[in-house]
Homo-oligomer: A and B are copies of this chain.
Amino acid sequence: MASSSSLTLSQAILSRSTTHASNPLPSFSLPTYSALKSSTNPTTPSLNLSARAAPRLTTRRRTIRASAVVETLDKTTDTALVDKSVNTIRFLAIDAVEKANSGHPGLPMGCAPMGHILYDEVMRYNPKNPYWFNRDRFVLSAGHGCMLQYALLHLAGYDSVKEEDLKNFRQWGSRTPGHPENFETPGCEVTTGPLGQGIANAVGLALAEKHLAARFNKPDSEIVDHYTYVILGDGCQMEGISNEVCSLAGHWGLGKLIAFYDDNHISIDGDTEIAFTENVDTRFEGLGWHVIWVKNGNTGYDEIRAAIKEAKSVKDKPTLIKVTTTIGYGSPNKANSYSVHGSALGAKEVDATRKNLGWPFEPFHVPEDVKKHWSRHVPDGAALEAEWNTKFAEYEKKYKEEAAEFKSISTGELPAGWEKALPTYTPESPADATRNLSQQCLNALAKVLPGFLGGSADLASSNMTLLKMYGDFQKATPEERNLRFGVREHGMGAICNGIALHSPGIIPYCATFFVFTDYMRAAMRISALCEAGVIYVMTHDSIGLGEDGPTHQPIEHLASFRAMPNILMLRPADGNETAGCYKVAVDNRKRPSVLALSRQKLPNLPGTSIEGVEKGGYAISDNSSGNKPDVILIGTGSELEIAAKAADELRKEGKAVRVVSFVSWELFEEQSDAYKESVLPAAVSARVSIEAGSTFGWAKIVGSGGKSIGIDKFGASAPAGKIYKEYGITAEAVIAAAKSLC
């Protein structure tokens, strides 16, 4: 990918993991521009929109204190300059969309004022290190409006969005894709676009902050202390996921989550009157939020400032600031209509908008005074980080143990030898359900991984996900690690994406029945896309769950995740394999893992191993020689036992049989050709697979000469053993298939 900035993605990631931890910068002094804070300028009335006090630069050098640098809520930057900055944001968005002839100018034009106030006056960040731990997080949940964020990152001095990046908006290889992508654009915290995901990610980010603050802050040193801001629109509000996560945010009392609801009354199909007439304020009050209404989001800068101040004063509730705006503000003929939502304005309307807003500049121009005004964020941000680094260095001296844990979380460097905590088993170990074996792993990992936490969507006692040494993360006990998501699968997944992306060493897991991945698939796809290493603990993974019937029995789900890019679908057969799956899942910090686990007991099989799981597919038993078995039996999860039993029978009849455990297709695919040939030799076409799920996809593994035993219809309600028998998922069926082939 083309990159001309001084901070490339890999460097940024490097800085993310090393800056404050192994190489803390010393505190140092920088110039500041005190006149931008009008408390030093008593002639500027704090709530007078017509105030036009000129900015007054000072050259006085002093040590910068974070709280003094950016907290200007009571003050106003010269309003004319704010207007100019806001219009700069608007036109950067207009121009980029126009050049690409693709994109969404409406939201940036309407939300530019709140965007300006957030990035210029409120948020604490370091443009030159987008991964500084204690930065305020910003999420554009209405991700289609990404030009708003790109314009802000550009003005703030982030190297990820240079002028040429704005000019390459939505083009091949650019760092300014059609929706915000954290893996492409440092400064974007998460990946949004699919509506409702961003507000859920923001809840996860705010949860992580509350949790880490409770665990690590000391009365004399608050090393975790940041806000999470989010902008969401009508579309996000309509999505069910947003109600799920906002209900949880209210329940958890996430007081440092401040959400701006861009209330512009327009969605793609037209006025929201046609489908969205609920009272959002009332709903959020019901959800336990503090609600503020900014009636003039287009020019009411002080209203916005006052709302943020009020939001910060409410410590025990998240705040929704409903900001009534005009979509496409400034466009004389398209503002307040759906036509400005998702298309370029067109040259004529761009001209008209330039005239209307008094904008004489060329496309992509940032006026000098605006540039100068924003330029302080680079030194200020460096100072903020430096100050924090000093604070952390002091913390580390006083609180060694906590600092070590904190560093693991903030850098992603896991404690050496953590994998030794994973349990191992022998064939003599008692049979057990892999969901129970999973719980043993979860509890073992929680002891050695400081950032390990998670929970279930109201199925903790079925998914077996409780961490026994910890209590519940709740409003009053945020230091605990068991998360209680309620029956909110989709929200759970997306919250975990936010948790995972807060800090590289936080490892969230979440759980429900495997079939209910259907509820959360959109969030899981984002995990895969945005490289969030969430661990999905999915139990009751087949017809083996029995009586709950077809609504609860996954059939096509293994196949559906095997087809999804950048996600590991893992189906362990016993204790060692379950431990192996957790080894893989924890190791894969940029790839989510889905563990499909049994409700029913399974024996510990001879030949299974953690190392085998890491290769994706491996032989657990073999009585052939010269890599020429008569037949290869391939099973996963609960059906590996059946394959093993069938092999025993076939061997009694003199056959040379290899049994292969095929835990993860993705991991196997990544092995060398030589290894793959050693497991599945091309010359052996007699192959039988067995899996209590769809046979879709298995033809690739068993080949044209092989047979697949599986289930290509819905399940049934009956005791598990009965369904297995009636559906032909049996050793007899494997034996018959094998005999027909060899």
A-side residues, CB < 8 A to B, are 100, 102-103, 143, 170-174, 177-179, 181, 191-195, 234-236, 238-244, 247-248, 250-251, 267-269, 272, 274-288, 338, 456, 458-462, 472, 474, 484-491, 515-516, 518-519, 521-522, 525-526, 528-529, 546-552, 555-556, 559-560, 562-566, 694, 696-697, 699-700, 703-705, 712-714, 716-719, 722-723, 726
Contact = CB atoms under 8 A, between A and B. Distances in A.
The copy count of this chain in the complex is 2
Contacts of A236: 487
A288 B522 CA distance: 28
A720 to B, nearest CB: 10
Contacts of A281: 286
A683 B716 CA distance: 39
A713 B462 CA distance: 34
B238 A178 contact: no
Contacts of A195: 487
A710 B562 CA distance: 15
Given A103-B547, A560-B556, A275 B288 contact: no
Given A194-B516, A250-B277, A529-B550, 17 more contacts: A172-B722, A174-B718, A193-B549, A234-B487, A236-B487, A240-B488, A243-B243, A243-B244, A267-B487, A269-B459, A274-B486, A281-B286, A282-B283, A286-B286, A338-B461, A555-B564, A563-B697
B241 A240 contact: yes
Contacts of A459: 268-269
Contacts of A173: 718
A391 to B, nearest CB: 35
Q: Interface centre among A484, A486, A491, A717, by most B CB within 10 Å?
A: A717
A569 to B, nearest CB: 11
Nearest to A462: B268
A563 B556 contact: yes
Contacts of A192: 551
Closest 6 CB pairs of A and B: A240-B240, A282-B286, A275-B486, A177-B717, A699-B700, A283-B286
B276 A286 contact: no
A696 B519 contact: no
Contacts of A240: 239-244, 488, 490-491
21 contacts: A173-B718, A174-B718, A177-B549, A179-B548, A181-B549, A239-B519, A247-B276, A250-B278, A251-B277, A269-B459, A279-B287, A281-B286, A518-B525, A529-B550, A556-B563, A559-B559, A563-B563, A563-B694, A566-B713, A700-B700, A704-B704
A451 to B, nearest CB: 22
A371 to B, nearest CB: 27
Given A556-B560, A713-B565, A485 B275 contact: yes
Nearest to A456: B269
Contacts of A235: 458, 487
B516 A193 contact: no
Contacts of A488: 238-240
Contact of A546 (B102, B275, B696): B102
Contacts of A284: 286
Given A238-B487, A484-B269, A472 B274 contact: yes
A242 B519 CA distance: 12
Contacts of A272: 486
Nearest to A515: B194
A179 B717 contact: yes
Nearest to A725: B172
Contacts of A248: 275
Contacts of A100: 547
Contacts of A564: 555-556, 560, 694
Contact of A717 (B170, B472, B566): B170
B286 A458 contact: no
Contacts of A247: 238, 276, 278
A548 B243 CA distance: 25
A293 B36 CA distance: 54
Contacts of A565: 555-556, 694, 712-714
A280 B274 contact: no
A549 B275 contact: no
Contact of A697 (B239, B279, B546, B696): B696
A304 to B, nearest CB: 24
A471 B459 CA distance: 44
Contacts of A556: 560, 563-565
A17 to B, nearest CB: 24
A243 B566 CA distance: 31
A191 B552 CA distance: 12
B718 A549 contact: no
Contacts of A559: 559-560, 563, 696-697
A172 B485 contact: no
A279 B284 CA distance: 10
A344 to B, nearest CB: 11
Q: Interface centre among A516, A521, A703, by most B CB within 10 Å?
A: A521
Contact of A171 (B191, B239, B250, B718): B718
Given A551-B194, A697-B697, A522 B519 contact: yes
A280 B288 CA distance: 10
A476 B179 CA distance: 37
Contacts of A287: 278-279, 283
